[in-house]
């Protein structure tokens, strides 16, 4: 391997972990503000707006550098779509989980995801709303590359889904959002369920997108 190639690979790896660090900061902000509003026992509307607003602000702040996924399910879906390398996906997901965990520690486990329905309903709802979230992301990035409309659409989708479904499953849509606060609070049994459901929902959105694209060719 030539010195130039080694230098290029080292720079590429450095950028990969920098993007992971940026994702950590964005996910930290999302969990800290969103779950902080839950901890403060704000109304469902206020909590929904808090989550939607912070997601939109984070997209505007870091989107150009890391994509502002701030969600392992979204990063894994983009990997499956072919938009993210395996190494970048690992860096993104690790960063997101670390950021969420730090936020959970600072909140002392306050605002964890809470299950207020049956397991069957929880699974169905989390798959559905993560599917809808990912579908909104895939739709808007097909329409524009400008970060402002992307932030508005994705943030609004998060807020609406959180408002309508938060009372039943916490409207997580994001494994990191559940991982940090629930790990610190000790309510860890539901963490794997939310990981699986949200990832399935996001992957289903990509599969539907591919199916629609193939039929229109």
For residue 7, is pLDDT > 60? no
**Structural domains of the chain in order of their starting residue, each with its CATH number:** 3-216 (1.20.1080.10)
For residue 215, is pLDDT > 90? no
* Cα 44 → chain centroid: 20
For residue 6, is pLDDT > 50? no
The pLDDT tens digits for 94-151 are: 999 999 999 999 999 999 999 999 999 999 999 999 999 999 999 999 999 999 999 9
Name the burial class of residue 156, with classes exposed (0-12), middle (13-18) and buried (19+) by CB atoms within 10 angstroms of its CB.
middle
């Amino acid at each position: 391997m030539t010195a130039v190639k080694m230098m290029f690979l080292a720079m590429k790896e450095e950028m990969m972990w920098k993007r992971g660090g940026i994702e950590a900061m964005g996910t930290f902000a999302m969990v800290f503000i969103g779950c902080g509003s839950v901890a403060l026992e704000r109304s469902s509307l206020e909590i929904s707006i808090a989550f939607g607003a912070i997601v939109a602000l984070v997209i505007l702040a870091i989107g150009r550098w890391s994509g502002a996924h701030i969600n392992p399910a979204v990063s894994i879906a983009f990997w499956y779509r072919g938009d993210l390398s395996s190494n970048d996906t690992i860096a993104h997901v690790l960063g997101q989980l670390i950021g969420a965990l730090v936020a959970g520690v600072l909140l002392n486990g306050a605002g964890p995801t809470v299950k207020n329905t049956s397991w069957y309903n929880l699974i169905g709802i989390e798959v559905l709303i993560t599917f809808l979230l990912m579908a909104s992301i895939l739709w808007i990035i097909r329409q524009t590359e400008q970060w402002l409309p992307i932030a508005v659409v994705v943030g609004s989708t998060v807020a609406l889904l959180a408002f309508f479904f938060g009372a039943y499953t916490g409207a997580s849509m994001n494994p990191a959002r559940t991982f940090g606060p629930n790990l610190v609070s000790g309510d860890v049994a539901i963490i794997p369920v939310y990981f699986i459901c949200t990832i399935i929902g996001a992957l289903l959105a990509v599969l539907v997108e591919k199916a629609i694209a193939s039929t229109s060719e």
